[in-house]
């Protein structure tokens, strides 16, 4: 790992504050990053103090005045070069993501590939920031809409996708003409420093103004400061519902904009008409991928009573074949949870489920012994629940899967929609009517609804996000770019008269 860290410019002790091309000194506290793979310290990071934060924001404001004047296709060309730089460093960065966060190596590589893909998407978008033209009710007038950049965009990212979700925001924000300030999770600070080192070279080579891509490091207090800062036009925050509500209140108090991607309590409906061979891998990966630490993790299976026992048996057999261990070993399926606090939350949820009447088809627990010294490796487990127990209403960021029975498709959809969160959902069925009902206005209330695929694995071409306590934000593809811009309606009078609205006349 030392060789990988060196390739990415990671030292034993690192400055954590950057204005893009320059690392700033700071007297903030020291943040130590530990790997959940083995519990060993990786490196330390100097967090951002008040003076360094002030310099970052002032530099970003000044950079925006220049960056917005660069034509969007030219901005896109710079983002294209960023994608190429990420391709060059994909292996090293993917390994660091796996080691610092704990996800499998394949998922680490996949996360960097998402960064590359969004850069490619943003390049095309840079030539498609379209507005509308409209017919005016007044003669010899023309109306149209155009989109302008907002200014400084603050990005607060979570530990589970330490680099990809930041890129979803930043790549689009940049081609739209904004500048960015990134506050990564304090649990994965080194991934952010590595990315900053990679992209800063691209900006230097293109003589981009200092301050277009900024980085600050710290904990909750720094996130609160970013959310409350009136100079930050948009705050995009990914994390828990609790965190998102605090950000939303702070930003709304100053009439700023927020883009929230929060908790998920995602379900897959297994119909009596499902192809169980397709359903099984989708459910297993959805439930145990990233050790259950995805916002799109499958947390509930709503299974038709006629196939319940057969599908449960398939799940139990599949769970018995899972390999849990070092995520850098490509033969392992499941890595560790991020830290001991996550392990305790997992154990607490299991205890609550048992106290509320849940029955475990696959028991959970913490793994011990050789290879599990960090204390962060847990067993993916499966609980059968008779109804919507209180514990099922909450998102536990760990590999706990709840099984529920249903009789009718209406009952299944009601169960799917009965939780406060509304991110991702799926139905496994070969019945066209069921599929269409699930996707209709009377179906899933989530921002993402799939047929015959799982709840995880969203593509960057579609807008990503959810409803209810998931926050309502949309990132990545489709028209998500509009969140990073302000709409302006324009009317041009090319006549020799000035007709007034509503037929009003002045005798002047």
Residues that are catalytic:
261
> Which tokens belong to 33?
């990053």
Placement of tokens 């009078």 in the chain: 493
Distance separating alpha carbons of residues 15 and 150, to the nearest angstrom = 29
Q: Is 360 helix (H, G, I), strand (E, B) or coil?
A: strand
Question: 384, 365 in Cβ contact below 8 A?
Answer: no
Placement of tokens 């995805």 in the chain: 294
> Which tokens belong to 408?
């009718």
Question: 431, 451 in Cβ contact below 8 A?
Answer: no
Question: 441, 488 in Cβ contact below 8 A?
Answer: no
Question: 53, 216 in Cβ contact below 8 A?
Answer: yes
Distance separating alpha carbons of residues 60 and 183, to the nearest angstrom = 14
Beta-carbon contacts of 120 under 8 Å, excluding residues fewer than 6 positions away, are: 80, 83
Question: 428, 302 in Cβ contact below 8 A?
Answer: no
H or E element: which one contains 22?
none
What number of other Cβ atoms are within 10 A of residue 347's Cβ? 15
Residues pairing with 424 in the sheet: 448
51, 60, 44: which is closest to 26 by C-alpha?
51
73, 27, 77: which is closest to 54 by C-alpha?
27
> Which tokens belong to 8?
């990415």
> Which tokens belong to 483?
């969140």
How far the first Cα of the chain sits from its last, in Å, is 80
Q: Rg of the chain's alpha carbons, rounded to an integer?
A: 24
Residue 483 backbone dihedrals phi, psi, to 5 degrees: -65, -20
Distance separating alpha carbons of residues 500 and 147, to the nearest angstrom = 26
> Which tokens belong to 310?
């057969």
H or E element: which one contains 65?
helix 50-67
Distance separating alpha carbons of residues 463 and 447, to the nearest angstrom = 9
Greatest CA separation for the chain: 92
Distance separating alpha carbons of residues 260 and 281, to the nearest angstrom = 30
């Amino acid at each position: 790992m030392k060789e990988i860290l060196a390739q990415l410019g990671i030292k034993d002790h690192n400055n954590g504050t950057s204005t893009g091309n320059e690392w700033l000194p700071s007297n903030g506290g020291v943040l130590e990053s530990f790997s959940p793979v083995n519990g060993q310290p990786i490196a330390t990071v100097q967090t951002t103090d008040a003076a360094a934060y002030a310099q970052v924001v002032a530099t970003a404001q000044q950079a925006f005045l220049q960056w917005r004047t660069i034509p969007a296709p030219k901005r896109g060309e710079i983002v294209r070069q960023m994608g190429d730089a990420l391709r060059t460093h994909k292996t090293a960065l993917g390994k660091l993501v796996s080691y610092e966060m704990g996800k499998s190596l394949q998922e680490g590589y996949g996360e960097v590939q998402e960064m590359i893909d969004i850069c490619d998407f943003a390049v095309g978008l840079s030539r498609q920031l379209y507005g509308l033209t409209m017919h005016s009710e007044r003669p010899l007038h023309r109306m149209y809409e155009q989109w302008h950049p907002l200014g400084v965009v603050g990005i607060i990212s979570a530990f589970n996708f330490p680099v990809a979700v930041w890129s979803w925001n930043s790549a689009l924000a940049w081609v739209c003409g904004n500048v960015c300030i990134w506050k990564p999770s304090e649990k994965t600070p080194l991934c952010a420093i590595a990315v900053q080192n990679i992209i800063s070279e691209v900006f230097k080579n293109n003589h981009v103004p200092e301050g277009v891509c900024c980085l600050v490091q710290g904990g909750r207090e720094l996130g609160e400061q970013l959310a409350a800062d009136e100079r930050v036009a948009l705050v995009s925050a990914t994390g828990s519902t609790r965190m998102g509500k605090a950000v939303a209140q702070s930003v709304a108090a100053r009439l700023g904009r927020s883009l929230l991607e929060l908790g998920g309590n995602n379900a897959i409906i297994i119909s009596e008409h499902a192809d169980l061979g397709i359903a099984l891998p989708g459910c297993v990966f959805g439930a145990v991928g990233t050790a259950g630490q995805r916002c799109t993790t499958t947390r509930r299976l709503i299974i038709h009573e006629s196939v319940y026992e057969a599908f449960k048996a398939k799940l139990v057999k599949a769970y018995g074949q899972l390999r849990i261990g070092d995520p850098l070993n490509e033969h392992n399926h499941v890595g560790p949870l991020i830290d001991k606090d996550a392990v305790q939350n997992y154990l607490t949820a299991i205890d609550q489920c048992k106290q509320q009447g849940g029955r475990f088809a696959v028991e959970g627990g913490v793994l011990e012994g050789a290879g599990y010294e960090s204390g962060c490796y847990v067993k993916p487990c499966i609980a059968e629940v008779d109804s919507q127990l209180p514990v099922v209403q909450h998102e536990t960021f760990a590999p706990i899967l709840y099984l529920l029975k249903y009789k009718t498709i209406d009952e299944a959809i009601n169960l799917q929609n009965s939780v406060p969160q509304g991110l991702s959902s799926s139905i496994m069925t070969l019945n066209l009517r069921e599929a269409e009902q699930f996707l209709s206005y009377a179906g899933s209330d989530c921002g993402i609804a799939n047929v015959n695929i799982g709840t995880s694995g969203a593509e960057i071409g579609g807008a990503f996000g959810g409803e209810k306590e998931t926050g309502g934000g949309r990132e990545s593809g489709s028209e998500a770019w509009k969140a990073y811009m302000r709409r302006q309606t324009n009317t041009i009078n090319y006549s020799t008269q000035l007709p007034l609205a509503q037929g009003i006349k002045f005798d002047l």
